[in-house]
Copies of this chain bind each other. A is one copy, B any other.
Amino acid sequence: MIETNQITEALQKVREKSPLVHNITNYVAMNNTANALLSIGASPVMAHATNEVEDMVGIASSLVINMGTLSEKWVEAMILAGKKATEKAIPVIFDPVGVGATPYRTQVAQQIIEKCKPTVIRGNASEIMALCNSNLKTKGVDSTLSSNAALNSAKLLAKSTNAIVVVSGETDYITDGKRVTSINNGNTIMAKVTGMGCTATAITGAFAGAEKDLFIAAVSAMAIMGIAGEMASEVSKGPGSMQMNFIDQLYKISNIDIEQRLKIKYE
């Protein structure tokens, strides 16, 4: 069970340590995620050249791999960086954007899981289910998934990968295969802003770079995302102002905001 003060303390650690988060991410969300990382107190770096990703990840506190707009050369870089990070015990956060939409995406996601051994995987319900399915299949394990059971998929995926798995949605679930914590903050308009999921993954990278307990880090990231999103939605007129206000709220979010608004549950 995670106490509210573990979340506020994790946020404090991010702001004090200002972890360098190395992102190999998609073109659409780069600007948003860089701004989100700066606003929460982390230090973003984006670098994808195979000539330098190993050096770059070597000086980073965490690595975020997001396959939103993937291509061969970038996948090569993701794997190089991910292997190096794992070697150096730097947490790897993986966002399998669109896995299941095309065979290529499914294959790349599988490859990244096998070679980079991510410590946290974050996706929406359909991504986590697709990923779980393909992961079990490639391991010759029969899927025991019921069709809508994203949480079940998340648990199975966590067990088969040893990663903490985050399913984001109206309710966010965070599981290590045994424990399940859920966050009920946020607002539906967040789904109308591009790259919000990618931002959640990047923010998880920030917390994983500052808080050693990765389960606390993942829960804290989703709590902060939800609460900042909730506060931003209250002063926004549409997705455009929402995108802007969300960044402002990440910057301003206080312990009191967290204490008053956090909706957390344990299974």
Contacts and interface: CB of A to CB of B under 8 A. Distances in A.
Interface of A: 26-32, 34-35, 38-39, 44-52, 55-56, 59, 68-73, 98, 101-105, 191-195, 236-241, 243-252
Contacts of A98: 45, 47
Contact of A248 (B28, B72, B240, B251): B240
A243 B240 contact: yes
Contacts of A35: 193-194, 239-240, 243
A59 B27 contact: no
A194 B31 contact: yes
Q: What number of copies of this chain does the assembly contain?
A: 3
A235 to B, nearest CB: 9
Contact of A192 (B55, B73, B251): B251
Contacts of A241: 244-245, 248
Contacts of A194: 31, 34-35, 38, 44
Given A28-B34, A38-B194, A49-B71, 13 more contacts: A27-B46, A29-B31, A35-B243, A39-B239, A39-B240, A45-B98, A47-B102, A49-B70, A49-B104, A237-B248, A237-B252, A238-B248, A240-B244
Contacts of A251: 192, 238-240
B238 A52 contact: no
A31 B36 CA distance: 15
Contact of A52 (B44, B48, B104, B252): B104
A55 B239 contact: no
Contacts of A26: 46
A51 B72 contact: yes
